[in-house]
Amino acid sequence: MHEYLKRIIDSRRHFVRSLLRKADDIRRQAEQQVAKEHENGFVQRLDGEEISCIAEIKKCSPSKGLLRADFDAAAIAEIYAELDVAAISVLTETDFFKGAGDYLPLVKRVSGLPVLRKDFILHEIQIYESKLLNADAVLLIARILTEKELKAFIEISKTLKIEPLVEIHDVEELKMAVNNGATTIGVNNRDLEYFHTDINVALEIAPDIPDFVLSVCESGLGSASDINLVKEAGFDAVLIGEYFMRSPDIRSSFKALFAHG
């Protein structure tokens, strides 16, 4: 395991320990919230004829540092809502991505769109916490979970009416995800060792993705031709973060990216 990933996971394990001190309250409140809700619209928003966009709100990257000096989660959410993206991904990891759990309800309230909690989920209590933060979907990274954990986390997410977006990096992880109940899968072109990106990762895995799976291509997309490539490969949606966060004009960058989508 590369030092980047090890440090992030160690940090989140410390965070999990703090959550577990109030686990009973978190679980009870989350279950009460589920009882009052209808199904969320995350999957419905992504599953259209044209390729959909999950636009990301991310202040920093462990490998790239600060991505947006004038970072304002609410203002970015308003722009994404104006562009009518399918959903918004929100980084909530605090130490390396400078995210915050509080961004989730803020972004959802401002945009009116489904929100994906993007974090390093290592314990089921984080999924219950995600419910309290009004997440419509949660990222589950297959690479950092055992098969038993992944299966349990998928089941817990669905019980809480949160869509589990299972992130994979190769065909073996794809098989593990599908065999354990995943129906929404993200192929991450960024490796978790050195954080390098290669769009060919998604293009090579695409033929193995079952037709019933809602597929999302993540990371390393920065042109209209990239979008067309993954669309032709059969992906239902793309997740775009750094491209928008580095842009001085998100609106223009969005229109350029999807000019031929």
User: For position 148, what pLDDT does the model report?
Assistant: 98
Q: Which of 61, 118, 130, 189 is catalytic?
A: 118
How far apart are alpha carbons 157 and 137 in whole angstroms? 8
Asked if 220 contacts 197 with a C-beta cutoff of 8 angstroms, the reply is yes
User: For position 261, what pLDDT does the model report?
Assistant: 44
Asked if 221 contacts 261 with a C-beta cutoff of 8 angstroms, the reply is no
Q: Is 39 a catalytic residue?
A: no
Minimal CA–CA distance to 82: which of 90, 74, 91?
Answer: 74
Summarize pLDDT for 240-250 with one digit per residue, the tens.
999 999 999 99
Q: Which of 188, 189, 215, 242 is catalytic?
A: 188
Give me the residue label for tokens 């947006």: 68
Q: Is 167 a catalytic residue?
A: yes
User: For position 2, what pLDDT does the model report?
Assistant: 62
- SS3 for 166? strand
Report the domain count for the chain: 1
How far apart are alpha carbons 2 and 194 in whole angstroms? 7
Q: Which H/E stretch holds residue 23?
A: helix 23-35
Residue 37 pLDDT > 90: no
Residue 152 pLDDT > 70: yes
User: For position 1, what pLDDT does the model report?
Assistant: 53
Q: Is 255 a catalytic residue?
A: no
Range of the domain at 18: 3-257
Residue 36 pLDDT > 90: no
Residue 187 structure tokens: 């192929």
Nearby residues of 230 by Cβ (< 8 Å), 6 or more positions away: 51, 199, 202, 203, 206, 217, 221, 238
Residue 44 structure tokens: 């419905």
pLDDT, mean of residues 185-198: 86
Summarize pLDDT for 100-114 with one digit per residue, the tens.
999 999 999 999 999
pLDDT, mean of residues 223-231: 94
Q: Which of 40, 56, 157, 173 is catalytic?
A: 56
Residue 164 structure tokens: 């589990």
Residue 38 pLDDT > 70: no
CATH at 66: 3.20.20.70
- Mean pLDDT (the chain, rounded): 93
Eight-class DSSP state of 93: -
**Selected residue with higher pLDDT from 49 and 245:** 245
Give me the residue label for tokens 């992030």: 8
Question: Cα–chain-centroid distance for residue 252?
Answer: 23
Put simply, whether the predicted model's pTM sits higher than 0.85 gets the answer yes
How far apart are alpha carbons 118 and 140 in whole angstroms? 8
Residue 88 pLDDT > 70: yes
Summarize pLDDT for 8-17 with one digit per residue, the tens.
999 999 999 9
Asked if 162 contacts 136 with a C-beta cutoff of 8 angstroms, the reply is yes
